[in-house]
Amino acid sequence: MEYFADLHVHIGRAAGKPVKVTASRQLTLDGIIRTCLEIKGIDIVGLVDCASPYVLREIKHKINSGELIELAKGGLSYQGKLTLILGSEIETQESKGVAHSVAYFPNIEQMEEFSIIMSRFINNIGLSSQKARLRARQLLSIVNDLGGKLIPAHVFTPFKSLYGSCYDRMSRAFEEGFNEVIAVELGLSADTQLADRIKELAGKQFVSNSDAHSLDKIGREYNEVRLDAPDFENLFDALEGKSDQRKILANYGLDPRLGKYHRTCCLSCNYIAEEPPPVSKCPRCTSDKVVMGALDRITFIADYDEAVHPPGRPPYYHQVPLEFIPGIGKKTLERLLKAFGNEMNIVHHADPEELHKVVGAIVTEKIIAARGKLKLKVGGGGVYGKIMF
């Protein structure tokens, strides 16, 4: 069967305590479950703050009450409709900066043990994505020993990522353990076309996840996977590309130009580069105080001028989340959801004539246009790109 999976969703609060301090207070376990099922159409969600004792406490309560069911092959099931994958985003200290990776585990006992171990290296294990006194290769060893899987997160963003701020080659972060890293998360400002300009990534699967810090951001990037069943073992078999029965069918994500770190941005005059990449200092005021964009960084470190896709690389489909489309406010979205069920159906499948009946001609034209090529204002320096209708 085919499933939609977003494997990087943060938890703002759990057990009445803050977890991800930069995330919305509405980003709770209940809120995530409801949003995935009733609004987004997500079948598998990765919760990336589960090493927090507050999150563990709330998950165990839901298991004990029967609200969540532990699956034999890993993961937690909510009413047979949504699978929760337990993950923990960890910040490692590298020689030239810090980087984020997400550790995923099949069951609650492994995550509890991981939490105990990480509390030796993290000052406040209750909070999300805290800096650990570890290198990436040390974190990988710990995760492997516990039976988990490690995926480097948003690997091209200029802050807290392995390529974006630490290394020109990720293999240097993991050394002999690099072959054990089965997949990398691309991040909002890059896609397959950009990532496959780096030779060492040819043997890695790509995942596209939302890194959601609020409920409405869930599913803005996601993966379509073919699995025998929606559980941990099947999912990570798919991420390793083991067979046609279990595989990533497609990645869906923002056009990288909409990402907020796609192009270099000057910190002195706020100019976002339009010149050919790589841009490493401001073309307008000549300042070298810039935030280097993902496109510029990839161009700077790339092995190839154009993408060289390995055999079997899944297609990457650009999508425009409804929140990016002018004219779709809360009330319009409510009408669309009532008519079409979830955002997946609206963004990709809803018939133009049916859309017209619900939201009229102007909004319908924008939704249909968002399925094709659009004129975009490129994002950079922490500012998202914009659609230019």
Angstrom distance (rounded) from CA 86 to CA 212: 15
**CA dihedral sign of residues 232, 238, 240, 245:** positive
Angstrom distance (rounded) from CA 32 to CA 30: 5
Q: Which residues of the chain have pLDDT under 50?
A: none
Q: Where are the domains of the chain?
A: 2-254, 321-369
Residue 263 confidence (pLDDT): 97
Residue 43 confidence (pLDDT): 97
Cα distances (Å, whole numbers) of residue 320 to 43, 79, 389? 20, 30, 13
Contacting residues for 68 by C-beta, under 8 A, at least 6 apart: 59, 62, 76, 77, 78, 84
Would you call 248 helix, strand, or coil by DSSP? strand
Helices (H), the chain: 29-35, 53-64, 108-118, 136-145, 171-174, 192-195, 232-239, 294-301, 330-340, 343-344, 352-369
C-beta of residue 245 within 8 angstroms of C-beta of residue 263 = no
Nearest to 151 by CA among 198, 85, 75: 85
Domain 321-369: assigned CATH number: 1.10.150
Nearest to 197 by CA among 69, 295, 106: 295
Residue 350 confidence (pLDDT): 95
**pLDDT tens sequence across 154-166:** 999 999 999 999 9
Cα distances (Å, whole numbers) of residue 268 to 360, 383, 384? 44, 15, 19
Output the DSSP codes for 326-356.
Answer: TT--HHHHHHHHHHHSSHHIIIII--HHHHH
**pLDDT tens sequence across 178-220:** 999 999 999 999 999 999 999 999 999 999 999 999 999 999 9
Q: Which fold has domain 2-254?
A: TIM Barrel (3.20.20)
Q: What is the CA 188 to chain-centroid distance, rounded?
A: 8
pTM higher than the cut 0.85: yes
Residue 375 confidence (pLDDT): 84
Residue 58 confidence (pLDDT): 98
C-beta of residue 239 within 8 angstroms of C-beta of residue 207 = yes
Contacting residues for 309 by C-beta, under 8 A, at least 6 apart: 192, 196
Q: How many other C-beta atoms can be found within 10 angstroms of the C-beta atom of residue 338?
A: 9
